[in-house]
Each structure stands twice: as structure tokens, then as C-alpha cells.
């Protein structure tokens, strides 16, 4: 291959020596505050016992799955509270939560600053529904230019990450 053809092919796919991986929860976004707000909502709406029940279910499910599954815990909670129609409104509270208000000060600026040395990628634990929703509503999805990967800790492995990085052209 002639030198100009090689240069042209090389410019089509740019691989970087350095890629910056960021987690979301309690790294860019104050997830402890989200949990505090959720606990306050549960206590106010359903009472102390129901709030405790939700968090017990949440922790049990986290142990089973290896990641936080807020909506999965809600579904199990709903089965325990079938007589209470307010439970269905809790899903709206969760998916409509103002996650952008819980970004740490300077989080977006930090991502932008780091990008000068290489691509930035979100690599976060979580389910396939709520974690992406949280990333989208917080503004992080756009800040990371669509480079978002969520997976459970148990499935986090280098081969999958490597495939993702190659497919995204990093």
C-alpha cells in the first residue's frame, strides 16, 4: 500500500493510547443524596415500615445481581404492597428524578478537561433501564458524547470492554 493510502486508512480509524473511564454513582453524581431523597419520599408517602421494606428488598436484590436495581426492588416492593395504588406513582418519581441537580460541582467541567488527553467513557454498574435513564437525565450521556457502558460487576471484564472501545473508534 502506498504511503498516502496508509495515511488515509489510518485517519479513518483513530485508536487512542489512553482512554479515561468514569463511574457515575458517587463519582460524578451524588448517589447518596439520591438515596436520601428516595428514603424521604418513601417514608413520607408510605411510612417508616414500608421504607425499611423497600431498602431490605433493594439490598437483597443487590446481593443477588451484583448491582443496584432500583426498579427491580420497586417491582418486588409492589408485590408486597399490592393493595396500595400509590406504589405505581413511585416508578414515576424514580424515572423523573432530577439527576442533573445531583451532579457534583465541577463534574462536567472535569470531564471536558480530561478529554484533552483522550476519550472519556462512562463505565458504570447498573441495570439496563434505570442506570441509562440516570445517565441521560443527568446530562452525562451528552457530556460523554454517547460513550456509555453499563454492566454488572460480575460481567465486567476486559474482553467486553475492549470490544466496546474498538467499536466506538477509540
Over residues 127-141, the pLDDT tens digits come to 889 999 999 999 999
CA-nearest of 54, 90, 73 to 126 is 73
Report whether pLDDT(6) > 50. Answer: no
User: Mean pLDDT throughout 92-120?
Assistant: 95
Question: How much of the chain exceeds pLDDT 70, in percent?
Answer: 80
134: left (phi > 0), else alpha (psi -120 to 50), else beta? alpha
Given pLDDT bands bounded at 50, 70 and 90, which one contains residue 144?
very high
The pLDDT assigned to 17 comes to 75
Q: Which CATH superfamily is domain 3-29+103-167 in?
A: HAD superfamily/HAD-like (3.40.50.1000)
The residue behind cell 440516570 is: 134
122 vs 22: CA distance, rounded Å: 5
The average confidence (pLDDT) of the chain is: 85
Alpha helices (H) along 13-114? 31-46, 48-65, 70-80, 87-95, 107-114
The pLDDT assigned to 9 comes to 45
Q: What is the CATH number of domain 31-99?
A: 1.10.286.50
56 vs 49: CA distance, rounded Å: 10
Residue ranges per structural domain of the chain: 3-29+103-167, 31-99
User: Which of the residue ranges 13-17, 76-80, 150-154 would you say has the lowest mean pLDDT?
Assistant: 13-17
Amino acid at each position: 500500500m502506498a504511503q498516502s493510502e496508509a495515511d488515509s486508512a489510518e485517519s479513518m480509524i483513530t485508536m487512542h493510547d489512553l482512554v479515561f473511564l468514569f463511574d457515575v454513582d458517587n463519582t460524578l453524581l451524588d448517589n447518596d443524596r439520591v438515596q436520601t431523597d428516595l428514603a424521604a419520599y418513601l417514608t413520607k408517602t408510605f411510612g417508616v415500615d414500608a421504607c425499611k421494606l423497600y431498602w431490605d428488598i433493594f439490598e437483597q436484590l443487590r446481593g443477588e445481581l451484583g448491582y443496584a436495581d432500583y426498579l427491580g426492588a420497586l417491582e418486588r416492593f409492589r408485590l408486597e404492597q399490592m393493595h396500595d395504588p400509590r406504589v405505581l406513582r413511585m416508578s414515576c418519581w424514580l424515572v423523573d428524578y432530577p439527576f442533573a441537580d445531583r451532579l457534583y460541582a465541577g463534574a462536567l467541567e472535569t470531564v471536558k478537561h480530561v478529554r484533552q488527553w483522550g476519550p472519556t467513557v462512562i463505565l458504570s454498574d447498573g441495570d439496563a433501564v434505570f442506570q441509562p435513564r440516570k445517565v441521560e437525565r443527568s446530562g452525562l450521556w451528552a457530556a460523554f458524547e454517547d460513550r456509555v457502558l453499563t454492566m454488572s460487576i460480575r460481567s465486567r471484564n476486559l474482553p467486553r470492554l475492549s470490544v466496546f472501545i474498538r467499536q466506538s473508534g477509540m
